[in-house]
Amino acid sequence: MRRELIKFALFAAVVLTVPAVVKGGYLLNVLVFVGINTMLAVALNLLLGFAGQISLGQAAFYGLGAYLSGILTATHGWNPWLALFAAAAAVGLLAFAIGFPILKLKGHYLAMATLGFGIIVYIVFNEYVDVTGGPSGFPGIPGLQIGDLRFDSDLKSYYLIWTTALLIMLLAVNLTRSRIGRALRAIHDSEVAARVLGVNARLLKVQVFACSAVISCIAGSLYAHTVTFISPSTFGFHFSVELLTMVIIGGLGSIYGSCLGAALLTLLPEFLRTFQDYDIVVYGLLLIVMTMFMPGGLVQGAATVWRLALRLLPAKGRGDA
């Protein structure tokens, strides 16, 4: 655990000193979105990487957070923080309620059910025009502020988003090292065996599902207050697949991997503007190739390659001598 904490502290120190190097501008703005996507990828990873339960409806919880925050603050004049917590509580309850019937399903059926839920929510964003503004979007969401500190610049948003992301990562690391984390991994490997050993698998799965939904919802609220304009297309099926790709690239069950996956998939399209239309092809290829050849993800894959290289190099040296 102590090693984990040192690793985390180093990581946090690097993240928090980045703005000193980047010095504002467009890149810092993109890094804010890396932070938001990190929260979402970690949330999905808790569910997929640890408990082994797939969800193709993560974008729905993200969107619910954004829309609830937007509607409560811009339409009803609530305090943004109050709206954020109210949205998180409401989405948590919703996820808890639908979690019981949904997580009874396994594998393909679970994927389809979460996908169906995601699409229903997406349709509501588009069709409930009086409240959500429909396909043309929902403007005028106020920014967040603490006392007199308004989060209105990229630099301030960076610290707000990344402090939250780091807290969520710390919670996730902590959770996976705990009794609950071990129980989740047991469910991943064999649900029957876990239940025989006295793990309340059903309740635990629903709790992780709800936890993952709440994190996604908070990320959605922060997104809404940061960009101040939201539209349904951000929260469609395509984004759920993008999140899945982030988690797979980073490695199932690796918290830092999720951060790496989020960073790669957020930064690369920004720098490869010419590839704009190719991104969907690239995601498809990445999902297939990673699952086939590097099921542990980039972090674990790199470690394997490194170990292989270490073993091969001295052998070669001896051979030459």
Interface with another protein (CB under 8 A)? 48, 52, 54, 56, 101-102, 104-109, 111-113, 115-117, 119-120, 123-124, 126-127, 237, 241, 244, 248, 277-278, 280-288, 291-292, 295
Q: For residues 127 and 270, which CB has a smaller minimum distance to another protein in the complex?
A: 127
Report the C-alpha gap between 199 and 205 in whole angstroms.
10
Return the residue matching tokens 């946090």.
12
Q: Which residues contact residue 119 at a Cβ distance below 8 angstroms, ignoring those fewer than 6 apart?
A: 237
What is the smallest separation between the CB atom of 180 and another protein, expressed in angstroms?
21
Q: For residues 1 and 276, which CB has a smaller minimum distance to another protein in the complex?
A: 276
What is the smallest separation between the CB atom of 31 and another protein, expressed in angstroms?
26
Q: For residues 150 and 238, which CB has a smaller minimum distance to another protein in the complex?
A: 238
What is the smallest separation between the CB atom of 36 and another protein, expressed in angstroms?
22
Q: Which two tokens stand for residue 130?
A: 């009086």
Determine the number of helices (DSSP H) and then strands (DSSP E) in the chain.
Answer: 14, 2
Q: For residues 42 and 113, which CB has a smaller minimum distance to another protein in the complex?
A: 113
SS3 call for 197:
coil
Local structure of residue 145 (DSSP, 8 states)? E
Q: For residues 60 and 173, which CB has a smaller minimum distance to another protein in the complex?
A: 60
CA atoms 289, 291, 294, 300: torsion sign: positive
What is the smallest separation between the CB atom of 305 and another protein, expressed in angstroms?
21
What is the smallest separation between the CB atom of 313 and another protein, expressed in angstroms?
30
Q: For residues 14 and 120, which CB has a smaller minimum distance to another protein in the complex?
A: 120
Q: Which residues contact residue 200 at a Cβ distance below 8 angstroms, ignoring those fewer than 6 apart?
A: none
Q: For residues 109 and 271, which CB has a smaller minimum distance to another protein in the complex?
A: 109
Tell me if 28 sits within 8 A of 19, measured CB to CB.
yes
Q: Which two tokens stand for residue 75?
A: 């339409």
Q: For residues 28 and 111, which CB has a smaller minimum distance to another protein in the complex?
A: 111
What is the smallest separation between the CB atom of 187 and another protein, expressed in angstroms?
13
CA atoms 109, 179, 86, 135: torsion sign: negative
Q: Which two tokens stand for residue 296?
A: 């542990």
Return the residue matching tokens 């959770």.
175
Report the C-alpha gap between 154 and 84 in whole angstroms.
20
Tell me if 206 sits within 8 A of 96, measured CB to CB.
yes
Q: Which residues pair with 146 in a beta bridge?
A: 149
What is the smallest separation between the CB atom of 99 and another protein, expressed in angstroms?
12
What is the smallest separation between the CB atom of 173 and another protein, expressed in angstroms?
23
